Structure 1
Amino acid sequence: MPRKYKPIVGGGYKKHSPDHIKNALSDIESGISLRKAAEKHGIHYSVLYRHVKRGPDIKHQGGQTALSFEEENLFVDRLKICSEWGYPIDSTTLRLLVKDFLDSRGKEVKRFKNNLPGRDFVVSFIRRHKDQLAVRMCQNIKRSRAGVTPETINSYFDELSNEIENVPPSNIINYDETNLTDDPGKRKIITRRGTKYPERIMNSSKASTSVMFAAAADGTILPPYVVYKALHLYQTWTEGGPKHARYNRTKSGWFDSFCFEDWVLTVAIPYLKKLDGKKFLIGDNLSSHLSLESVKLCQDNDIRFIFLPANSTHLTQPLDVAFFRPLKTTWRQILEEWKKGPGRNEATVPKDKFPLLLKKLCVSLKEKNVIAGFRKCGIVPLNRNNVLSMLPGTGIDQNQAMINLEESTNAVDKIFKELLQSLRQDQTPKPKKKRTKVKVQPGRSVTVDDFEEVDGENVTLHTSLHSDPSPCTSKQAKPMKINAKKNRKFLDSSSEDDCAYSVQDSDDDLILISSNSSDQDENTGISISQGDYMVVKIYGKTKTSFRYYVCKVSYLMDNGFVGTFLKRVPQTKKFTMTEEESFVSKNDVFRKLSSPVLNSGARFKDMLCFEDDLTDLTVY
């Protein structure tokens, strides 16, 4: 039998619609003979005879399906339930489920090998039920995102409705950062038939640039804020970009508290302070997107923060829902056009060319996407049902079977329940301690008083106030861990296990004090100043043993300093500087060393040597 049956044109076989046959059968039931009903409706006498004699047991026209009509409808219903609950079934799994169902019923289909349907079965099954089922490409979401419940959304909208009531759309801003990659992505091309690995010549890399976008509910798009991955910012990296765009740089290439404060000061406040009434900034509750200084700056201008529920930005954040996808599609087109032209020889997008490409991107942005995002997320106009409709149906309980089911229905439910139980087992993730979220009720605005309460719980907030908010002058000391494996060859082979020792972790955000100041440790009596060399204790993971290291004081802190560590050349008294930095507490300082002498010998050239007697210490 062909995969898709096509009737012979002019073969004389006519297919009647079910309604047409139903009307003819109604006339027969009213007393009209088969012959007269066949002549009246133009249906062959034998067709009506089979329908009258067999009734509901009549076979369907054409080839017969392996499953009955009722059984296929049961599979369709269960497939839709699995899709709504986030576990859609692929074609291979559907074939295996049909095999399990046939085996459980003791039914053998000769056209299937070992009762396992072929791929053509799935194609025909989808075609028969195309009004209810479709094959689509899916995207993966984390279990934490799938765990958003209607109770969470309702609680968020209860708070949100009280905050933004009677607030004009222009006063509601949604902000979020995204990255613009250097890869234009794959594209379908025309090539010679039989080519296994079609390729095109185009430079690309995994590099990306972070950009903060913000837009108001009335469609107004604020200037972008760019953050480069670099230690310094150059003027050529800021020329030719969008009007009023801002530029900054961080070591990681992502936003930190300093960048966010500068964005609030230079982009958000200049736009919102021109408006009357209350203003709101809606975004996620990442600690890197919020600080006490940001809240104070906004509170002075009658601007308040509103946080979205955790793990729900794919449902509640307008920029994620309707803005970023067309933006990324346009960016890939602009990037591909540039790489085919002026940038064909560039290994990556130079930072001095990025503003020009960003300007083309900003020109193509559409206000209707922003308005559609706020409407889909139920913010403007306020409608929580828009978000609740995107959650799985709450009226379906996959753990309970329907009442008064037949034997085939129970068999279908059983195999689907076993599949869902195997997928949902161990769904509850292990609790983890995180310090990246601010414990604030979603949908409720934030004030400075709320921050002080939160700071007393489990969240570390930035309490330093910057006198100069310029992105080019802000400095941040960020501690780094010493890589024990990297420095293993410099350690004494007779020592304990190397992996148990590492430089102590410290807070992500450090408050710098004057570089010329010095501090006196009350416990040890050792005076610490910037540039001093110290012997410090570095404890292992168990905190029961430690090792001695030599480090140079780089920055002084409230209760210690950030030191740059030295490594000792094995079996010598010589040391070399490294790039490893970490925070050292005052209590871990063991001894202060004199200024080192630079060795000028050929063997130990440019190495440091201390005049202090270190023979009684095992220094690494």
Structure 2
Amino acid sequence: MVRKYKKLAGAREYKNYTQETLEEALEKITDGEMSINAAAINYKIPFGTLYNKYKGMHGSTPGGQPVFSHSEEVAILRAAATCADWGFPLTTFDLRMFAKSYLDQQGRNVTRFSNNIPGIDWALSVLKRHKNGFGQRLATNIKRARAAVDRNSINTYFDNLQREVVDIPPSNIFNYDESNLSDDPGKKKCIYRRGVKYPEKIMNHSKSCTTIMICGSADGTLLPPYVIYKSLHLYDTWKERGIVGYPCCTKPCCSRGSRFNRTTSGWIDAPTFRDWFITSFLPHADRLDGRKVLIGDNLSSHLDSDVLEKCQSHNISFICLVPNSTHICQPLDVGFFRPMKTAWRKTLEEWKKFNLKAGTVPKEAFPRLLKQSIMEMDKVQPATASDEEAITSAVKRNLISSFKATGIFPFNRDSVLRKIPDNSPEAQNRVEGRVRDSLTDFLKEQRFGKTGEPTRKKKRLQIGPGKSIATLDEPGPSTASEAHLLTCSVDASPISDFAEAGPSTMNPTEDFDNDPIQDPLCPQLPLKDKTPEYEDEITDCESVADDRRIESPCPETGKFVLAKFTSKKGKRHYQYVCMIEDISEEKIVVLGFKSHKRNKTVFRAVNDDVSIIEKSDIITYLPQPILREGFYVFPQDVNVKEL
């Protein structure tokens, strides 16, 4: 396939007409208003082309015929668009694999494709043929928690919002949010010699950033920024030459300009947010008549009791956004911060060109650079000259469009709902073609995740300080005390020995009443709950000295026992921890437990290890263990003899 066709010099013009022009000429010929020759002259279309189209001859497209029909190509691209709607857009490679899967399902083998996989030229040609409906865009990554926001939570948010913003003018609807301005101006395309493998640009930068609080209203009014430095103290030079007046609010309430504060972390906290609310927002809000609405995220530092009390006393409704939905519901995130940071990076790069030795932006220069970046942002002209975008101030224009895009003002919940895929059965039925069921189920699983699968909790490995461990290594004890708790001692007295000594010494919790009990899974930490004692002391059980068996007249379901098992040939005897599941006359159904990594205090259930034993096979009754992270923990070693 030719990658890019170049017409030869002097060649005739090929198809210098549009499809609409051709259809109009054919309509004139069909209605008898023009002859084929007159239409060819009038519309400047070759006579042979009009004749063949009119007679229905040579209807195929010129050149090599495509593998897929027009409807198949549209179906494949619509399936790719559905993936993008669900948050998993396809690359050109994914599109090629999707086409291969379609061909394999149809049993078609295309010889021009290697292993039935279309080439990159096919993907680019398909996108070019359907460029009016589909195209490639640069994708932005979002977390799965953001993608899990569903239509029900958004509808609930808009139901509550509608009651709050009804009859509220746009000048009284505000949105606030904090962001940070980095010291790195970012990457930019530059000119290099061809073949340079590692293009570099000398410019000092760091990972430091400065937090700013931004607040704007639905009518396009921007309050002066609130800057938060990372420092213990503030200095006079850190607030000089900051932004005052236009393009921010020029009224007397904001005549003092930007405000500056500091925290030890550089991030906003509850006292800092309270100070911003009292010193920056309240003076502007008190100047307005009627009720005001303040919209923001549900960050813990924003939910301050003093702020909520002042909101109530100043007739301000404090509204929180849906968690993890700021990327589609918060106006500043949707349409303001990106152009502001673009202007900031441009201003920062210009400043670094004249300050080559500066490692980072000094706090003395930050107010001036912030002012320049906002002024630079305000100069951006609209892409089109429509009536809605006739506002000359880009700051005001961006704020108005941001509130509109998030459906706050004018109120329109569909502005947000159209960004979320519809998970209802009615919407799924509208997905066309044979890709409907498999594609929809796959996308639901990818976006919302699987349900009903338990997550495994991590467990701390017992490794000595400075030691490493390999993938297949078993974790061993790191200290002598841990070794005592984790080692399965052969000489340790079995629980059955307590039975021979009588009821007074049979209670295994007697030695643990005054000593702290440690978790065998994590020996250095005590258990949260004290080890429970036996619910029933073995006072009615008779000790048998020859085989150490204990008979009990009252076995109960749910009790843990140490049971005796014999090999098929009767030569070997084993002792296992079991739990009684059912009792029927002399037969007892038990579930077997296996010691965890040779630890005789920690056991796990073996779900398919169900056995039937007799009452005489019970050696002794065990204390009720503690269930921790799927493992059953006994207060001391159990004398098991396992395979």
Instruction: Answer yes or no: same fold by TM over 0.5.
Output: yes
Match of 2:446 in 1: 423
**Structure 1 residues 270, 3: CA separation in 2 closer, same or farther (over 3 Å shift)?**
same
Residue 4 of structure 1: how far off its partner (Å):
2.6
Match of 1:322 in 2: 335
Residue 312 of structure 1: how far off its partner (Å):
1.7
Q: Tell me if 1:356 matches 2:385.
A: no
Distance in 1 (CA, whole Å) between partners of 2:238 and 2:464 is: 35
Distance in 2 (CA, whole Å) between partners of 1:486 and 1:339 is: 49
Distance in 2 (CA, whole Å) between partners of 1:98 and 1:21 is: 32
Q: Tell me if 1:540 matches 2:525.
A: yes
Of 325-334 and 422-431, more deviation after overlay is shown by 422-431
Q: Deviations over 1:437-478 (max 9, x none)?
A: xxxxxxxxxxxxxxxxxxxxxxxxxxxxxxxxxxxxxxxxxx
Task: Return the TM-score normalized by structure 1.
Answer: 0.63
Distance in 2 (CA, whole Å) between partners of 1:425 and 1:386 is: 22
Distance in 1 (CA, whole Å) between partners of 2:445 and 2:103 is: 21
Q: Deviations over 1:316-338 (max 9, x none)?
A: 21111111111101111111111
Residue 257 of structure 1: how far off its partner (Å):
0.8
The amino acid of 1:265's aligned partner reads I
Identity %: 44
The amino acid of 1:289's aligned partner reads H
Q: Deviations over 1:193-243 (max 9, x none)?
A: 211111111111111111111112222222222222233333433333334
Residue 377 of structure 1: how far off its partner (Å):
1.9
2:318 to 298, 305, 318: 305
Contact kept, 8 Å, 1:51 with 1:58, in 2: the verdict is yes
Match of 2:258 in 1: 245
Distance in 2 (CA, whole Å) between partners of 1:45 and 1:363 is: 60
Distance in 1 (CA, whole Å) between partners of 2:31 and 2:131 is: 36
Match of 2:271 in 1: 258
Match of 2:91 in 1: 90
Q: Say what the alpha-carbon RMSD is for the aligned residues.
A: 3.8
Residue 429 of structure 1: how far off its partner (Å):
10
Match of 1:341 in 2: 354
Contact kept, 8 Å, 2:85 with 2:419, in 1: the verdict is no
Distance in 1 (CA, whole Å) between partners of 2:464 and 2:243 is: 44
Q: Deviations over 1:38-95 (max 9, x none)?
A: 676477787577657876x942112211212221121122222222222211100011
Q: Tell me if 1:283 matches 2:284.
A: no
**Structure 1 residues 415, 61: CA separation in 2 closer, same or farther (over 3 Å shift)?**
farther
The amino acid of 1:345's aligned partner reads K
SS of 1:540's partner is strand
Residue 495 of structure 1: how far off its partner (Å):
5.3
Q: Deviations over 1:94-119 (max 9, x none)?
A: 11111122222222222211111111
Of 143-152 and 293-302, more deviation after overlay is shown by 143-152
Distance in 2 (CA, whole Å) between partners of 1:117 and 1:60 is: 20
Distance in 1 (CA, whole Å) between partners of 2:452 and 2:323 is: 15
Contact kept, 8 Å, 1:398 with 1:417, in 2: the verdict is no
Distance in 1 (CA, whole Å) between partners of 2:22 and 2:148 is: 50
The amino acid of 1:85's aligned partner reads W
The amino acid of 1:381's aligned partner reads P
- Please, which runs of 5 or more residues in structure 2 have no aligned partner? 245-256, 379-394, 456-461, 468-477, 484-522, 531-643
1:374 to 397, 403, 427: 403
- The structure whose RCO (Cα within 8 Å, separation 6+) is larger is 1
Contact kept, 8 Å, 2:86 with 2:443, in 1: the verdict is no
Q: Tell me if 1:331 matches 2:344.
A: yes
Query: Number of paired residues?
Result: 442
SS of 2:336's partner is helix
Residue 182 of structure 1: how far off its partner (Å):
0.7
SS of 1:4's partner is coil
**Structure 1 residues 107, 239: CA separation in 2 closer, same or farther (over 3 Å shift)?**
same
Which structure: larger Rg? 2
Distance in 1 (CA, whole Å) between partners of 2:303 and 2:62 is: 67
Distance in 2 (CA, whole Å) between partners of 1:266 and 1:107 is: 71
Match of 1:267 in 2: 280
Distance in 2 (CA, whole Å) between partners of 1:387 and 1:208 is: 31
The amino acid of 1:353's aligned partner reads A
**Structure 1 residues 428, 233: CA separation in 2 closer, same or farther (over 3 Å shift)?**
farther
> Which of structure 1's runs of 4+ aligned residues deviate more than 6 A?
23-32, 42-46, 52-55, 394-398, 429-432, 484-489
Distance in 1 (CA, whole Å) between partners of 2:109 and 2:454 is: 48
SS of 1:162's partner is helix
Matches within 5 A, 1:104-253: 104-243=105-244, 244-253=257-266
Residue 289 of structure 1: how far off its partner (Å):
1.1
2:416 to 374, 387, 390: 387
Distance in 1 (CA, whole Å) between partners of 2:316 and 2:441 is: 52
The amino acid of 1:326's aligned partner reads P
**Structure 1 residues 345, 14: CA separation in 2 closer, same or farther (over 3 Å shift)?**
closer
The amino acid of 1:339's aligned partner reads K
The amino acid of 1:331's aligned partner reads W
**Structure 1 residues 542, 338: CA separation in 2 closer, same or farther (over 3 Å shift)?**
farther
Task: Return the TM-score normalized by structure 2.
Answer: 0.61
